[in-house]
Chain A
Amino acid sequence: MEIVKATNLHKYFGKLHVLKGVDFHADKGEIISVIGPSGSGKSTLLRLLNHLETADRGSIRIDGQYIAKENAEGRSEYISGKETLKICRRLGMVFQSFNLFPHMSVTENLMEAPVMVSGVSKAVAAEKAESLLEKVGLTDKRDAYPGQLSGGQQQRVAIARALAMDPEIMLFDEPTSALDPELIGEVLNVIKNLAAEKITMIIVTHEMNFAREISDRVLFMDGGVIVAGGTPDDILVNPDHQRIRDFLRKIIREA
């Protein structure tokens, strides 16, 4: 059952052709890692899926519902903004730079969208927040402000904040790239624990061991297209493509 399906996605930033016909799908509960060199369009792909950017060509379906559909000329036509927002609520996103709301406490960060968007009562939202903080191991930080937390803690809060909306799909855009090496593990562990919960996850990452361990499928992007996709072993251990081998060698050298 395909919960995300995107076909022939094209994206331009001005004249820069960033996505050049990407076909992407994710099955319900599937965990997909997306790897590839800088500038290959990984973030752009994620951001198209939850409508942070709009596609120029191609179509996007979430659980069978179109948010963008290719018209006769091949241009992407979006359904109304309100409808898109509603469908995209089923996707949670975790950013490289956390993007917590600095003026709200940790608990308030977790309650904001459920209360203001979904109309959940404050009591219910607070209870949910507490259980999510337990899940990410931060109950003692419930009243702290983001500025008082380490990067790893902030990212765990950001994951909990996304989960507070009960997303069916979680998008992670390099969730550990902004972290000091010693803080990466705690964040990856939280994501690993989520893997047990049947949430569909699409993870852009440079953590190859993590990708290998957690993924059902790994996609390699380069130059605005998905060059190859397969099991973690296919892509990360014995890649057929020279480009993947070069990329992996470079990553290892940098690490």
Chain B
Amino acid sequence: MDIGYLWDITAYIALGAGVTLKVFFITLALSVPLGVLCALGKLSRFKILHGVLGVYTWLFRGTPLLLQLFFTYYGLGIISGGRIAFGPEMAAYITFVVNYAAYFTEIFRGGIQSIGRGQYEAAKALGMNQWLTMKRIVLPQAIKIILPPMGNESINLIKDTALCSVITVTEILRNANRVMSRDFNVGALVIAAAIYLLLTFIVIQVFRRLEKRYAYYTIR
């Protein structure tokens, strides 16, 4: 095979990685804080909020992400008679943020709940209010607990970005697919796979570092 050709298709497919990374970072940057808020909401005393958030996480964790993408990109436009219409990338961001926040909500809720009652009581006995207790005592410990599942979700997120190709977002897989159907060349898929592997490898390393940073203490 011709090196020049290989270089050309690799560059073309890698161009899609830019979009993949954009979806990845925007999703993380927005769904993490949204997930924290929803987790706190689920742990709050407001019964109605529990119900609303329960339906939310159930819907978004209980249906395929691909279906949700279709719904945001095609469905909303049809329902609203064209009044709500998003471009492919915008539809991807919205769907991914809302979907991943649902997962993060459950992860964070579990993490926060795994901090024992004794920690809250010790903090209160020292005069710390609820906000200080959350900020200084509970959340820092919850982070250690949620890092491994967060790492898993982040790896999933890298791979899930490939779903965006079906709503015409020009990310890695879509570009690889185009090359493949144009040139009848499976090599494009191999190149795409290599790029995904590289990205997930980086994510794994980042989380390994983070987990190491929190390894200095144990929660019993």
Contacts and interface: CB of A to CB of B under 8 A. Distances in A.
Interface of A: 50-52, 82, 85-86, 88-89, 91-93, 95, 97, 99-103, 112-113, 116-118, 145-147, 158, 161-162, 165
B126 A52 contact: no
Say what secondary structure dominates the interface of chain B: helix
Contacts of A147: 217-218, 220
Contacts of A85: 124, 127, 129
A100 B122 contact: yes
B127 A95 contact: no
A102 B216 contact: no
Interface string B25-48: 000000000000000000000000
B128 interface: yes
B128 A113 contact: yes
A115 to B, nearest CB: 10
A89 B125 CA distance: 7
Given A93-B121, A103-B140, 8 more contacts: A52-B121, A82-B129, A95-B118, A112-B126, A112-B128, A113-B128, A158-B122, A162-B125
B217 A88 contact: no
Contact of A52 (B124, B136, B217): B124
B218 A95 contact: no
B137 interface: yes
A145 B216 contact: yes
B125 A116 contact: no
Contacts of B124: 51-52, 85
A102 B116 CA distance: 12
B220 A102 contact: yes
Given A99-B122, A102-B141, A145 B217 contact: yes
A116 B128 contact: yes
Interface string B190-220: 0000000000000000000000000011111
Nearest to B124: A52
Given A145-B217, A147-B217, A91 B125 contact: yes
A101 B128 contact: no
